[in-house]
Structure formats: C-alpha cells, structure tokens
Amino acid sequence: MEHPVLMRIRREGFTPLGWFVPKPTDDVPDDAKFVILIGNAGPEMFRRFASERNPAADLMDDWTRDSIDQLAADLDSKAVYPFDRPHLPFLTWARRGGGGYVSPLGLNIHPTYGLWHAYRAALLFPVAFDLPRHDAGASPCDGCAAKPCLSACPVHAFDGKSYDVAACGQHILLDRTQSCDPGGCKARLACPVGKTFTYSPAQMAFHMKAFVRERAKELL
C-alpha cells in the first residue's frame, strides 16, 4: 500500500516525482530532513487547474502556490517552488530523488512519464519518512538510437547539447505556416517515451501561449 502522504498528494491532482533525504551539499533550505518533489504527470493536474481558474486569464504559478501551500500546511511541511527567486536547484534535486535524466532536448525525461511531466514544488518536511529510495532506472534515451526529438524541430533548435531559444521563439512568433503553436513542441511530441501521458490539446495550447508570451516580451 502506498504511503499516506503520497496518496494525499495524488488526491490533490499532483504526482510525487521523487524524494530524498537531503545532504548539506543539496542546498535544501530550512534544515529540512526529507524532500518530496511533486508536480504534474500527464493531464490530471491541468484538469484541476482549469476547473478552478480560467486558463485564458489566470497564471498557473499563482494557482500552484495557492493549492500547494494549503497542501503543505495540511501535511505539516513547507513548500518551495521552481519559480521562487533566487532559483532553487530543482533539476539537481530531481537527480537526487531518482526523478529522471537530462534528455537530448535539455528537458528532464522520466522513464514512465517521458517529457510529459514538470516539477511544480518541493515539500520540505522536518522529519524523515521511511520510504524506499525512488529509483528512476536506466535513462530511456540511452537505448534510443534514432533520437527523433533532435530531427523533428522545424528550425533545428536542438543539437543534443544546447537549445537555440531565439530560433525557436522567432519561428513560433513569425512563421505561422509551420509553427508549433498551438499544437505543442514538435520535438517533444516526437519522443516515443510516455506517450500515454501526453498533455491534452488544451494543456498544450496553454503552455505554448505562455511560451509565446515570454518570447514576445524579449522582442519588444
């Protein structure tokens, strides 16, 4: 049977994506004794967000903080977020928690969820839990010879080592004939891992709109 804390996280529409006992070198704040990384995997969290807020007008970060702060209080923990400033080392924590590997796109890839997940918060607990170490297993990218993610981008923004954000942004903003907006990143969609967790069209459009909004600011 799953641990009650993990079950409660799932009941709130979030997914436990890894956990670990922090070391001093992990830069976990507040002298926490245990960390559980949570976020979305697939479309479930977005369904809750869309039922409680207006995706056309409201920011997911605001809803995330409101929802997870309450969850953290109920679990006698403290929540910290990847959008906090200064930035916290969430991707480093993901490796510590067995939550996946760096994909050729630079995104975190999970053996089960593929690229269709994201870290939304870390719950910091004052006591350690008796949970077995979360093992991500081998990286699914190691056995992927074709690596279709690197050839699917219309403007070749990915080379396996870096991401040309400017080329990607200009393509989405200026080329309306082959743009990834609003259907979602074609490189991400090309990955064969975790296909059953692919985001819904509404969720894809929501995240792409946010990306376009940020790129447009850079061009102003």
Task: State the pLDDT confidence band at 220, using cuts at 50, 70 and 90.
Answer: low
Secondary structure percentages of the chain, helix, strand, coil, to 5: 35, 15, 45
Tell me the three-class secondary structure of 158-204, residue by residue.
ECCCCECHHHHHHHHHHCCCCCCCCCCCHHHHHCCCCHHHCCCHHHH
Whether the predicted pLDDT of 212 surpasses 90: no
Query: What pLDDT shows up at residue 1?
Result: 72
Is the pLDDT at 136 greater than 80? The verdict is: no
Confidence of residue 141 (pLDDT cuts 50, 70, 90): very high
pTM of the model as a whole: 0.91
Q: What is the pLDDT of residues 88-108, one digit of tens each?
A: 999 999 989 988 899 999 999
Q: H/E element holding 109? A: strand 108-109
> Within a 10 A sphere around the Cβ of 126, how many other Cβ atoms?
12
